[in-house]
Amino acid sequence: MSGVLRAVGHVRREPIDRGRPYGYNAAILEDLHPHQLAQYAAALRLLEHPDAEEARAFLADRGEYDLLRLVDNVVGRVGDLRGSEA
């Protein structure tokens, strides 16, 4: 979960870090380790970011279906928590 939160922070800084070598951009997704990619896939979905489907596609292309299920579980649980705050 901490990796997902770290990815959320990285993605949310995208407008601030644009053009910097350490800033988030979709090009980094393809080179990430599968577990890191899953963290970004969850973060992107939680943020309703346009790159979310691309991250999921990279995981699927690598055959990482267990990680895709984990992404769905994390996003679902966070969604449940958001719903209980209302």
Chain segment 41-61, per-residue pLDDT in tens = 999 999 999 999 999 999 999
**pLDDT for the residue numbered 16:** 87
Structure tokens at 43: 């973060």
User: What's the whole-model pTM score?
Assistant: 0.89
Type of residue found at 58: F
Three-state DSSP state, 25:
coil
Report d(CA 49, CA 82) in Å as an integer.
17
Domain ranges of the chain: 2-85
Calculate ∠ Cα 79-82-23, nearest 5°. Answer: 75
What is the pLDDT averaged over residues 52-77?
Answer: 95
Give the model's confidence band at 15: pLDDT under 50 very low, under 70 low, under 90 confident, else very high.
confident
The pLDDT of residue 10 is above 90: yes
Report d(CA 25, CA 53) in Å as an integer.
14
